[in-house]
Structure 1
Amino acid sequence: MNRFGSLRQAIVDTRPLAFPAYRRTFLGQAAAVIGTTVTRVAVPVQVYSISGSSLDVGLVGLAMLVPMVVFGLYGGALADLADRRLLYLCSSALTWAGTLALLPQAALGVQSVGLILVLVAVQSAGFAVSASVRGAIIPALVPVELIPAANALTYTAGNVGQVLGPLIAGALIMLPNGFAYAYGIDALLFTAALYAVFRLPPLPRAALAPGGRIGIRAVIDGLRFLGGKPVLLMAFMVDIIAMLFAMPEALFPEAAATRFHGGVGLLYASIATGSLLAGLVSGWIGRVRRQGVALTIAVALWSAAIAFAGITHTLWFTVPLLVLAGGADLVSAVYRQTILQTYVPDHMRGRMQGVYTVVVAGGPGMGDLRAGIMASAMGLTIAWSGTAILGLVIVLIAAIAVRPFWHYATQADLPKSIR
């Protein structure tokens, strides 16, 4: 193979964009993530500006976590039982409404941490359902062999937004009434995602499996299914450990204010920058067979990079380490989502995507709460780096101990009975 062929295999695979429904979803979500990330930065900075407390910033994570768990699990069950397009549209509209409500509270200078937490919870509820549906419909939009490439594209586009969003937020919040501008940009950009959802083809519910149930019982059935699949269970668990023990974002406002004396937008953008760079050279990801091992290594690298980033006291040492962590996070996210979408049968896919949403979006909320409490009690360095090292050790021991996960290979190598 010549060097140009090797280069084509290394860079991001764009073949899924040939499918119109996926392409619209991709572009709409890419625009929406920019606005969503602006809000994700603006909210904790606004809370810190009101209260001056990292503990209150950590409570933002709790406000996200509770509805994420409830609506992520139940929304995933609904995604297996309802018209997925309609459910996606309604839940996206709820997220949009929560953003619209943040705008007047900032413009009017309400200065209420409690009100912000309530509105964050509303956003989180809508996001939990929409993310569950979005993950479940990807196999309906592209051929199965392009699912890893579609996931890599989706995460790469998301990381473009997560790089631009913090930089935009960092500039806006310095302006008079800048928080209102930040929420207004989010509301405007999110309309692109609503349009993309509206243009989706009909997505009827999955065929209910024999003996399948609805409502809360469907959620319980999904959790029982997960409990019997060690590969899926460990794919989720390593991410929970990484986010709980090594998620530093709740500490960024305090670190920017007391350690680096500025640079909050750069800190928030650094992890996403690493993910973006990794996504641009993600063509190799789909060719790795031992996906359990690859996922473990990526999560371990994330934890190690975060730990070292927290013990530096120079912004220009911390930022490259956060960039490295972000690259590892992209790789782990693609493998986790690909395992989930190819391992799980369609009638369970919505429920497993609900669990995935709880883990991936709710896990950082737990990490934020943990970090905020520890920073208030033990200081910034221990809250940032101490638990990251512990998480690294736990991930390696757990992954190696669960042998079906450690030896998990690509879907093509699995017995047909579990496809």
Structure 2
Amino acid sequence: MPPRLFSRIAVDVTPLRESRDLRLLIGGEVITGLGTQAALVALPYQVYVETKSAFLTGLLGAVELIPLMAMALLGGALADRHDRRRLLLFDQIGLVIGASALAALAFAGSPPIALLYVLGAMMAGFGAIQSVTTASIVPNLVAPERLRSALALNYGLGTLTMVVGPAIGGLVIAGLGLGAAYLIDAASCLAIVATVWMMAAQPPRGAIAEHEPVLRAIGEGLRFVRGNQALMGSFAIDLVAMTFGMPRALFPVLAVSVYHAGAAGTGLLYAAVAAGATVAALTTGWLAHARRLGRIVIFAVRVWGVAVAVAGLASSLWVAAGLLAVAGAADSISAVCRSSINQSVTPDHLRGRMSSVFSVVVTSGPRLGDVESGSVAALAGVRFSVLSGGLACLAGVGVIMLAFPALLRYDHEQVAAAAPLPSPAPV
């Protein structure tokens, strides 16, 4: 690839060069993310081995959903009230305790399934606080004109852990057992403790009063999101895409019953989405000066829907994986643009709570998609479920455009001129 072309599409790494704190934060997140992904493989695997029940294994996701959503909202209010760096450090205590308890149970053998559910819910809740807090920190670590590149780097490296982490988890479980995978997760939390400890304090600017009730603070954040049509549109379009166009629950069914590729084929389909997302996020240099981010989001979600729909008709595993990689790339571009929109229209003292709503949407969409795709597949077959989900996503985009025209009209330069972002803290 010619150097000039590469420089135009490769994500700008200038934010990492300019901001020591951003390097520390992302570096800690990457190492911790690898451990988290390893544990995310271990827990459902353990539940299935213990119960031999696909239903009880799937129930794990439902058990995790409520604490994840509740803790995300709580974490957003706390992130807008206290030093975000300190909150992130305290949150690691809960994650280390949870992962260590899972390791101890794995080494002991045959733990009660109910206890695995409780610890899984605990890990999901503290993980939500970590996600919300780090999302609210990033915009204050870089200059406003570097924000989009910083978000792309953070997202791209995060999706990379979703490709590498499960592979590490599978190898560790096969070679050393479940307990070792959980211990790796616990130890990985120390990485973000070490890097965040070296960062400067990250107090929110214009923080809410400490005596204000938490529920009132959460309500204020929800009212802000509801009152901003561009925000609402970005959340709604992601929810539509994930609910109707994310057939991840059907990947094992496609691999086993359609393509006869077994566990290896299942892993390939899961990895294809994340791999496409990683490549796209790390080649978003062309987005650095784009203004009409809402239009890019709408186009990207349309590509997502088309790719998923055609994947439902694919005649071979590799064609399906290629189409899912295209879908993942489109979702990645949408995610970077939506994150830029969300952070740009939100004052710093509301970023934690806005990020908490974003986390709830991102969390609930794929799980609703599991229910939708599984139900349709049970009634009409797996191929029809994937195809109809992609088409429903396309129809949903049209509805979103009508319901939230502010997303289509979004102009980054106009927003920046009307409400410029504050200068970043010294690094």
Q: Judge same fold: TM > 0.5, yes or no.
A: yes
Partners of 1:220 and 1:69 in 2: CA distance: 14
1:351 corresponds, among 350, 353, 370, to 353
Q: Does structure 1 retain, via aligned residues, the 8 Å contact 2:281–2:336? A: no
Change (3 A) 1:266 1:98: farther
Partners of 2:232 and 2:223 in 1: CA distance: 11
Cα deviations across residues 368-391 of structure 1 (Å, max 9, x unaligned)? 344455556665434444333212
Q: Could you tell me how far 1:4 is from its partner in structure 2?
A: 3.5
Cα deviations across residues 45-67 of structure 1 (Å, max 9, x unaligned)? 44344445544343232223211
Q: Does 2:107 match 1:125?
A: no
Counterparts of 1:322-361 in structure 2, within 5 Å, are 322-361=324-363
Cα deviations across residues 327-382 of structure 1 (Å, max 9, x unaligned)? 11211111111111111111211110111111123332333344455556665434
Counterparts of 1:100-115 in structure 2, within 5 Å, are 100-110=100-110, 112-115=112-115
Change (3 A) 1:250 1:179: farther
Does 89-98 or 293-302 show the bigger shift? 89-98
Change (3 A) 1:169 1:248: farther
Q: Could you tell me how far 1:254 is from its partner in structure 2?
A: 4.3
Q: Could you tell me how far 1:220 is from its partner in structure 2?
A: 0.8
Partners of 1:24 and 1:231 in 2: CA distance: 31
SS of residue matched to 1:284 = helix
Q: Could you tell me how far 1:205 is from its partner in structure 2?
A: 3.5
SS of residue matched to 1:328 = helix
2:425 is aligned to none
Give 1:180's aligned amino acid.
G
Counterparts of 1:153-168 in structure 2, within 5 Å, are 153-168=153-168
Change (3 A) 1:145 1:71: same
Q: Does structure 2 retain, via aligned residues, the 8 Å contact 1:167–1:266? A: no
Give 1:235's aligned amino acid.
S
Change (3 A) 1:101 1:24: same
Q: Does 2:132 match 1:135?
A: no
Partners of 1:393 and 1:272 in 2: CA distance: 24
Structure 1 residues not aligned, in runs of 5+: none
Q: Could you tell me how far 1:21 is from its partner in structure 2?
A: 0.6
Change (3 A) 1:293 1:311: same
1:98 is aligned to 98
SS of residue matched to 1:182 = helix
Q: CA RMSD in A?
A: 2.6
Q: Does structure 2 retain, via aligned residues, the 8 Å contact 1:14–1:149? A: yes
Q: Does structure 2 retain, via aligned residues, the 8 Å contact 1:54–1:375? A: no
Q: Does structure 1 retain, via aligned residues, the 8 Å contact 2:15–2:149? A: yes
Change (3 A) 1:213 1:47: same
Change (3 A) 1:209 1:88: closer
Give 1:262's aligned amino acid.
A
Q: Could you tell me how far 1:206 is from its partner in structure 2?
A: 2.9
2:262 is aligned to 261
Cα deviations across residues 134-181 of structure 1 (Å, max 9, x unaligned)? 1111122111111100011111111221111222234344x2664333
Partners of 2:383 and 2:114 in 1: CA distance: 28
| TM-score scaled by length of structure 1 | 0.90
| TM-score scaled by length of structure 2 | 0.88
Q: Does structure 1 retain, via aligned residues, the 8 Å contact 2:204–2:348? A: no
Give 1:137's aligned amino acid.
I
Change (3 A) 1:221 1:384: same
1:297 is aligned to 299
Number of residue pairs matched by the alignment = 416
Does 240-249 or 304-313 show the bigger shift? 304-313
Partners of 1:68 and 1:112 in 2: CA distance: 22
Identical amino acids, percent of aligned pairs: 35
